[in-house]
Chain A
């Protein structure tokens, strides 16, 4: 690789930066997707799980005789029986110092620790028969006190969920940067403080978690078709806990019906399904239905944060302090752990701003609720809601416009590289460019004027801004250094076939983001072929290069760079052959539109299909010692920075009905910087989808528990998700600051929308409520909470 960073992607006929449609979309609109539940194998059986109805209870006995005799039943397996075939796990990472958790089994053995924990499995000919039989199982339970309130989880009077751990504390971290005490003591400082809550919510992938495990005793191989984001990680997990070598396990990931971080974790029922297939020697399928998904998919964002900020009257922000408390359920989720979200809050708060002092603490406690773990934009929406909430409180306290206080305090665009007070290293961000673009797109001044005018008529609108940083392209510093076998590296293979088309494979995966589309664009650009002639394979541990999969916005930045390098390597190989065939020096040639051309004149010299024909079928006509490698594989992993941080800004414009507490979203804007934009149309839909997920958490979504630990919002009639009617048009703008770490320059884009939307909505609602002296800081901002803040209920 030579030349300036952009030279290889900024060539004639480049597909980088073009909104080409996704190659797999045509199949999906025709109903020809292949999601796990669409797959059928000979002798396939179905498993249904009996789940704990209690938040915390001892299993005294399981009476399954009747279930065993029920029609269609193949096997009933208790947790204790399964434990002989499947080892437990502990969700800790060494670099999260002090993080502890208890061994977790695929099914509860003696005790269930949350409502929904799998207790007993019924394998039958059909799912309906399995469910019928599961209903016949009787369990003798001894109910135990449930720990549900995270505020009292560490009180001496509260029972300890795992007595071997000593207490209910999973993890605690405090970080101090600069001199917060001096900053808060500044004689000119105005101090604002508030308590924020983010509501526990979950991913609600439209396709439930799904797995079809097929143990073939004759081959001693396990093939797992799974709806997952990380096939290679799952290969390791199945091997490790079922007593196999990794090479005995193949994980195939066809179409995935939404994931957003939900499908990157190890789920007890999924591991149990694989173990059951091994026990029975036949394929076993499990698809989580909606109700069981609500109690068994990971939850997230159950946080209470006490926070304060110091600001001078001239608008200079001095310091921020955040004290975060989060409840994660009874186990830290394997293998990524449930401490990462709180840890991210510590890392990310205050991130966009120049501060003199910063102190942040997270306390992560166990409770008897569904386990929580990483969900889209891990920690970002929490940190941004707190940071941007504080900035608006500071602006209000000193009487400054919210846009102005941000302009005065955002890290200057020419200050990079730099390190935040939380220790995050920023290569190059563009806060001021993004904010300026945002204000221009939304016509901030006009909206302010409109807001003031409508106030006179009793219409209460609000404008909310949110600037944010976004962690993408993680290096081994995210998980690998903690001991998890989660790859931060990905490989790509590019092969020229005899017809001049490319077959490419990658370790990153597709869950609808458009991974396969951008990989095709990059390969087509690197080699110089029409994008229609590229076929992409992802999601199969047997045929793709090793890799981490798609999560933490790493697909384009890491998988894409590997593909670029592989494509360039293949091109070099092709041009070496072409040079011999054309009696020209390879460096005088190029490939454009699938044809080898003269680099200087562009004159067509040799179609790739002719080159392919000669190499594959008439190699006798080529010089004897000419290398003829038409396959290239390259790998890439970030090395310079632990994470590739990027940034953006969002705005919400909305109206609050002060009589009903209802919020009507009128418009939403997001300007983000994901470095090199490979496909603007795909990035824009990523951003919009992320924004709506963020809005969901801000306005609607809430896993509500009773004091006994019963989930009260377990159906989509009780747990509200954003639908099209309530959502606004979302306007997206791009600023491009490519990372210099890679030739492609791509940073991630998947978290940006979710990172900033709740803060923007929160600030807009409070902007609308300001004349009433009312304020809401506990998500979701439901009509009831808004009316309560207004003192009307």
Chain B
């Protein structure tokens, strides 16, 4: 069996063709071959969420998916989501609330939070904590992240219903 696999996909809206090592993780492909270094590698075993990206409309862990599985896929990373402005409200809120310190978890946290707000416009604090329960942040204590997601939800959809 050939060790290398040819894939065609779109990444952040741009068409990409590549021959990838069959064992190459998606996040390593994005970082090493496409220089999309905004997605971070924190644990490489699916616990920390630093490599959270969007594949075919679903959020996935870039370390638990192989690049070879992405033939025909549509992949969005923090770089593309920033350029389209799709997550601008969340990014504004994260900056305003200081919902990040070292920033290493932040791209994954934002991609995960964006998915929550896409599904549920006005999540409660408890729901936000629960949803982000797979994204490790060692710096903030999470409180400001919850604040920021709440603030972004309010900016996008108005104040939460009582």
- Please say whether chains A and B are actual partners in one complex: yes
Shortest beta-carbon distance, B72 to chain A, in Å? 24
Asked if B96 and A258 sit within 8 Å, CB to CB, the answer is no
Asked if B95 and A25 sit within 8 Å, CB to CB, the answer is yes
Q: Is B78 an interface residue (CB 8 A)?
A: yes
- Per-residue interface assignment for chain A, residues 664 to 694, with 1 indicating a CB less than 8 Å from any chain B CB and 0 otherwise: 0000000000000000011011011111110
Q: Which residues does chain A contribute within 8 Å of B77, judged by CB atoms?
A: 31
Which one of B21, B43, B145 lies within 8 Å of A290 (CB-CB)?
B43
Question: A38-B37, A716-B45, A727-B129 are contacts. A685–B103 as well, Cβ < 8 Å?
Answer: no
Asked if B139 and A512 sit within 8 Å, CB to CB, the answer is yes
Shortest beta-carbon distance, B14 to chain A, in Å? 16
Q: How far is the CA of A21 from the CA of B99 in the complex (A)?
A: 10
Asked if B130 and A35 sit within 8 Å, CB to CB, the answer is no
Q: Is B141 an interface residue (CB 8 A)?
A: yes
Q: Is B47 an interface residue (CB 8 A)?
A: yes
Q: How far is the CA of A208 from the CA of B78 in the complex (A)?
A: 20
Q: Is A255 an interface residue (CB 8 A)?
A: yes
Comparing B54-62, B105-113, B154-162, the segment that makes contact with chain A is: B105-113
Question: A35-B40, A688-B140 are contacts. A512–B125 as well, Cβ < 8 Å?
Answer: no
Q: How far is the CA of A28 from the CA of B95 in the complex (A)?
A: 9
Asked if B141 and A692 sit within 8 Å, CB to CB, the answer is yes
Q: How far is the CA of A87 from the CA of B132 in the complex (A)?
A: 46
Q: Which residues does chain B contribute within 8 Å of A33, judged by CB atoms?
A: 37-38, 103-104
Question: A21-B96, A681-B98 are contacts. A28–B103 as well, Cβ < 8 Å?
Answer: yes
Question: A30-B91, A32-B38, A723-B133 are contacts. A257–B48 as well, Cβ < 8 Å?
Answer: no
Q: Which residues does chain B contribute within 8 Å of A688, judged by CB atoms?
A: 140-144
Number of A-B contacts (CB under 8 A): 181
Q: Which residues does chain A contribute within 8 Å of B36, judged by CB atoms?
A: 31
- Per-residue interface assignment for chain B, residues 50 to 89, with 1 indicating a CB less than 8 Å from any chain A CB and 0 otherwise: 1000000000000000000000000001110010000000
Q: Is A514 an interface residue (CB 8 A)?
A: yes
Q: Is B19 an interface residue (CB 8 A)?
A: no
Q: Which residues does chain B contribute within 8 Å of A126, judged by CB atoms?
A: 32
A31, A687, A726, A729, most chain B CB atoms within 10 A: A31
| Chain A minimum-CB-distance residue to B47 | A716
Shortest beta-carbon distance, B87 to chain A, in Å? 9
Asked if A724 and B135 sit within 8 Å, CB to CB, the answer is yes
Q: Which residues does chain B contribute within 8 Å of A258, judged by CB atoms?
A: 101-102, 104, 138-139
- Per-residue interface assignment for chain A, residues 689 to 725, with 1 indicating a CB less than 8 Å from any chain B CB and 0 otherwise: 1111100000000000000000000011100010111
Q: Is B153 an interface residue (CB 8 A)?
A: no
Q: Is A384 an interface residue (CB 8 A)?
A: no
Q: Is A407 an interface residue (CB 8 A)?
A: no
Shortest beta-carbon distance, B30 to chain A, in Å? 11
Q: How far is the CA of A727 from the CA of B145 in the complex (A)?
A: 12
Asked if A514 and B82 sit within 8 Å, CB to CB, the answer is no
Q: Which residues does chain B contribute within 8 Å of A716, judged by CB atoms?
A: 43, 45, 47-48, 136
Asked if B39 and A31 sit within 8 Å, CB to CB, the answer is yes
- Per-residue interface assignment for chain A, residues 563 to 595, with 1 indicating a CB less than 8 Å from any chain B CB and 0 otherwise: 000000000000000000000000000000000
Please tell me the number of chain A residues within 8 Å of chain B, measured between CB atoms.
59
A126, A290, A685, most chain B CB atoms within 10 A: A685
A24, A207, A289, A682, most chain B CB atoms within 10 A: A207
Q: How far is the CA of A290 from the CA of B45 in the complex (A)?
A: 9
| Chain A minimum-CB-distance residue to B28 | A128
Q: Which residues does chain B contribute within 8 Å of A19, judged by CB atoms?
A: 98
Asked if A206 and B95 sit within 8 Å, CB to CB, the answer is no
In chain A, positions 188-214 with a C-beta closer than 8 Å to chain B are: 203-208
Q: Which residues does chain B contribute within 8 Å of A717, judged by CB atoms?
A: 45, 47
Which one of A21, A207, A690 lies within 8 Å of B102 (CB-CB)?
A207
Q: How far is the CA of A513 from the CA of B110 in the complex (A)?
A: 19
Q: Which residues does chain B contribute within 8 Å of A84, judged by CB atoms?
A: none
Q: Is B117 an interface residue (CB 8 A)?
A: no
| Chain A minimum-CB-distance residue to B142 | A724
Q: Is B11 an interface residue (CB 8 A)?
A: no
- Per-residue interface assignment for chain B, residues 26 to 44, with 1 indicating a CB less than 8 Å from any chain A CB and 0 otherwise: 0000011000111111111
Asked if B98 and A25 sit within 8 Å, CB to CB, the answer is yes
Q: Is A37 an interface residue (CB 8 A)?
A: yes
Q: How far is the CA of A365 from the CA of B98 in the complex (A)?
A: 42
Q: How far is the CA of A257 from the CA of B100 in the complex (A)?
A: 11
Which one of B48, B103, B125, B144 lies within 8 Å of A29 (CB-CB)?
B103
Asked if B100 and A29 sit within 8 Å, CB to CB, the answer is yes
Asked if B104 and A207 sit within 8 Å, CB to CB, the answer is yes
Shortest beta-carbon distance, A367 to chain B, in Å? 26
Shortest beta-carbon distance, B46 to chain A, in Å? 9
Which one of A128, A256, A685, A691 lies within 8 Å of B144 (CB-CB)?
A685
Q: Is A241 an interface residue (CB 8 A)?
A: no
Q: Which residues does chain B contribute within 8 Å of A691, judged by CB atoms?
A: 141
Q: Which residues does chain B contribute within 8 Å of A208, judged by CB atoms?
A: 42
Question: A691-B141, A724-B135 are contacts. A25–B42 as well, Cβ < 8 Å?
Answer: no
Asked if B134 and A723 sit within 8 Å, CB to CB, the answer is yes
Q: Is A473 an interface residue (CB 8 A)?
A: no
Q: Which residues does chain B contribute within 8 Å of A289, judged by CB atoms?
A: 44
Q: Is A26 an interface residue (CB 8 A)?
A: yes
Asked if A724 and B48 sit within 8 Å, CB to CB, the answer is no
In chain A, positions 28-46 with a C-beta closer than 8 Å to chain B are: 28-33, 35, 37-38
Q: How far is the CA of A126 from the CA of B133 in the complex (A)?
A: 33
Q: Is A260 an interface residue (CB 8 A)?
A: yes
Question: A31-B39, A206-B40, A290-B44 are contacts. A724–B129 as well, Cβ < 8 Å?
Answer: yes
Q: Which residues does chain B contribute within 8 Å of A730, judged by CB atoms?
A: 141, 143
Which one of A206, A257, A682, A721 lies within 8 Å of B98 (CB-CB)?
A682
Q: Is A511 an interface residue (CB 8 A)?
A: yes
Q: Is A528 an interface residue (CB 8 A)?
A: no
Q: Which residues does chain B contribute within 8 Å of A259, judged by CB atoms?
A: 102
Question: A31-B39, A35-B104, A753-B141 are contacts. A715–B45 as well, Cβ < 8 Å?
Answer: yes
Q: Which residues does chain A contribute within 8 Å of B105, judged by CB atoms?
A: 206
Q: Which residues does chain B contribute within 8 Å of A38, judged by CB atoms?
A: 31, 37
Asked if A724 and B132 sit within 8 Å, CB to CB, the answer is yes
Q: How far is the CA of A24 from the CA of B37 in the complex (A)?
A: 17
Q: Return the 5 tightest CB-CB contacts between A and B, nearest first.
A: A31-B38, A28-B103, A688-B141, A512-B101, A512-B102
Not counting A37-B41, A290-B45, A514-B98, a sample of 11 additional A-B residue pairs whose C-beta atoms are within 8 angstroms of each other reads: A19-B98, A25-B98, A30-B79, A30-B91, A681-B98, A685-B144, A688-B140, A688-B144, A689-B138, A715-B43, A725-B130
Instruction: Please list 21 pairs of residues, one from A and one from B, whose beta carbons are closer than 8 Å in the complex, sorted by A's number.
Output: A28-B103, A29-B107, A31-B38, A31-B39, A31-B79, A31-B106, A33-B37, A37-B31, A38-B31, A126-B32, A203-B138, A206-B48, A206-B138, A257-B40, A257-B102, A290-B45, A689-B138, A721-B138, A724-B129, A729-B125, A729-B143
List chain B positions with a Cβ less than 8 A from chain A. 21, 23, 31-32, 36-45, 47-48, 50, 77-79, 82, 91, 94-98, 100-107, 110, 125, 128-130, 132-146
